[in-house]
Amino acid sequence: MKHRKLLMIPGPIEFEPQVLRAMSVQTPSHVASNFIEVFGNCLDMMKEVWLAPSGQPFIVSGSGTLAMDMAAANLIENGDNALVISTGYFGNRFKDILDRYGANTTILTANIGDNVALEAIEKELKNKDYKLLTFTHVDISTGVFVDPKSIVSLAKKYNILSVLDGVCSVAGEEIRQEDWGIDVVLTASQKAIGVPPGLALLVASKKAINVWKNRKTQVSNYYADWKNWLPIMKAYQERRPSYFGTPPVNLIVALEKSLKIILKEGIEKRVEKHQKLASAFRLAIEALGLTILPNNTAKAANTLTAIYYPKEIDGSKFSASMLNNDIIIAGGLHPEIKNNYFRVGHMGAISANDIIATLSAIERTLGKLGYIFKLGEGLKVFQNNFSE
């Protein structure tokens, strides 16, 4: 690898060359017939990736936080009760967003590396009349995975809207939005969807749209209001021109290319590939004597791994040495332990060869910093356990 470093953070990720080339085309008009076709294709393909054939997709210029903001702004009215199930940094962010729109928000926070017990969630749902609950499928700060099916089952039992923050999971973890009955699944373009940053993506169920339509008050966020965006999405789905705000046309051209790549591979096979890469990588990390942040592998994500530094290793020196070895990793994000661990993203276009390069750099870095282990052991374990 020459003249560039390998980006192994949990987003932005390494992007397919075809996606980057697609983004570099001459910018079309946002109401040109060829672009309307591209936008409409993207909306149709999102329903296939989300496995939500009856869902309403939205593509809006913005970040994953905007997607969270849109879900809260459109579904919450002042005084509504909302429950946040938090496994890290971004659960707390969702609480802040819901509070901003006047929700009476309760947050159930897991111990670091753990999930919130289902019994605790159900106990809370019995105690109060909630309108909505949110949970983070994969918290980017901890690498903790949450099983959606069990939580959504509780939401349906108590007739509560469910919002899945899939910023770090859509197209990398199994999500069957319609079969499981999830009301909103949201993400951002720069994660496993495989497009440079700039697109907020979400799919809303019919139930969520109906709740929004029957609001008693106006949505207080003008830009996020589905009243402004739904007619645009409907028009593009019907291949008609429409306008509210100029879409990021080059990013949407790139999104079409990436979604085509994902669906050509098949969403089930793509998730399976993420599972295999993540499992083999974790085994390699454990073979080096390192500890992952989730407290067991069943709670570890397919899309990133959070890893504690060995006690004798200085984190800043570790990151600097990795950079010198042409691998960019992410530091800790959870405020309570941010100096104690690092994160490696492995989603989207990331391949086994990228993992091998990363493991090689980790081993060289650990050796340079005086950590005692068997050189090559992580690489051997990964290659013995990963199968295409």
How many other C-beta atoms are found inside a 10 Å radius of the C-beta of residue 266? 11
Query: Domain boundary residue among 265, 293, 308?
Result: 265
95 inside domain: yes
Instruction: Please check whether residues 327 and 231 belong to one and the same domain.
Output: no
Token readout for 83 is 């429950």
155 inside domain: yes
Task: Name the strand (E) or helix (H) holding 121.
Answer: helix 118-127
**Structure confidence at residue 1 as a pLDDT band (50, 70, 90):** very low
What is the SS3 assignment for 369? Answer: coil
Query: Domain boundary residue among 265, 293, 324?
Result: 265
**Count of domains in the chain?**
2
pTM, two decimal places: 0.97
Q: Please, what's the largest Cα pairwise distance for the chain? A: 65
Q: Which residues 6+ apart lie within 8 Å of 123 measured at CB?
A: none
1 inside domain: no
CB distance 348 to 257 below 8 Å: no
CB distance 201 to 177 below 8 Å: no
Mean pLDDT throughout 317-328? 97
In sequence order, what DSSP letters do the residues of 306-323 get, joined into one string?
EEEPPTTS-HHHHHHHHH
Instruction: Please check whether residues 272 and 193 belong to one and the same domain.
Output: no
> How high does pLDDT run on average in the chain?
97
Query: 202 lies in which domain range?
Result: 17-265
> What pLDDT, on a 0 to 100 scale, did the predictor assign at position 388?
60
| Residue owning tokens 């992410």 | 330
Mean pLDDT throughout 240-251? 96
Q: What is the domain-level CATH number for residue 284?
A: 3.90.1150.10
Tell me the pLDDT tens digit for each residue of 53-103: 999 999 999 999 999 999 999 999 999 999 999 999 999 999 999 999 999
Mean pLDDT throughout 171-194? 98
Secondary-structure breakdown of the chain: helix, strand, coil percentages, each rounded to the nearest 5: 45, 15, 40
CB distance 203 to 55 below 8 Å: yes
> CA 338 from chain center: how many Å?
20
Instruction: Please check whether residues 100 and 186 belong to one and the same domain.
Output: yes
Q: What is the domain-level CATH number for residue 151?
A: 3.40.640.10
CA distance 60 to 199: 6
Tell me the pLDDT tens digit for each residue of 30-48: 999 999 999 999 999 999 9
CB distance 185 to 175 below 8 Å: yes
Token readout for 165 is 């923050």
Instruction: Please check whether residues 180 and 47 belong to one and the same domain.
Output: yes
Portion of the chain with pLDDT greater than 90, in percent: 98
Instruction: Please check whether residues 244 and 276 belong to one and the same domain.
Output: no
- The CA-to-CA distance between both ends of the chain, in Å, stands at 22
How many other C-beta atoms are found inside a 10 Å radius of the C-beta of residue 139? 30
**Structure confidence at residue 199 as a pLDDT band (50, 70, 90):** very high
> CA 315 from chain center: how many Å?
25
Instruction: Please check whether residues 237 and 282 belong to one and the same domain.
Output: no
Instruction: Please check whether residues 203 and 94 belong to one and the same domain.
Output: yes
> CA 19 from chain center: how many Å?
19
Phi, psi of 343 (to 5 degrees): -130, 140
> What pLDDT, on a 0 to 100 scale, did the predictor assign at position 218?
97
Residue 255 has pLDDT above 90, yes or no: yes
Portion of the chain with pLDDT greater than 70, in percent: 99
84 inside domain: yes
In whole angstroms, how large is the CA radius of gyration of the chain?
21
> CA 358 from chain center: how many Å?
21
How many other C-beta atoms are found inside a 10 Å radius of the C-beta of residue 232? 20
294 inside domain: yes
Instruction: Please check whether residues 293 and 252 belong to one and the same domain.
Output: no
Instruction: Please check whether residues 282 and 228 belong to one and the same domain.
Output: no
Instruction: Please check whether residues 333 and 381 belong to one and the same domain.
Output: yes
- 66 closest CA partner among 196, 201, 195: 201
| Residue owning tokens 């003008």 | 222
CA distance 88 to 71: 19
284 inside domain: yes
> What pLDDT, on a 0 to 100 scale, did the predictor assign at position 2?
57
Q: Which residues 6+ apart lie within 8 Å of 377 measured at CB?
A: 287, 288
Strand ranges, E, within 110-192: 132-136, 161-165, 184-188
Tell me the pLDDT tens digit for each residue of 300-315: 999 999 999 999 999 9
Q: Is the dihedral of CA 72, 75, 77, 79 positive or negative?
A: negative
Instruction: Please check whether residues 137 and 259 belong to one and the same domain.
Output: yes
Tell me the pLDDT tens digit for each residue of 117-167: 999 999 999 999 999 999 999 999 999 999 999 999 999 999 999 999 999
CA distance 300 to 204: 27
Token readout for 237 is 């789905």
Instruction: Please check whether residues 53 and 189 belong to one and the same domain.
Output: yes
Query: Domain boundary residue among 265, 289, 310?
Result: 265
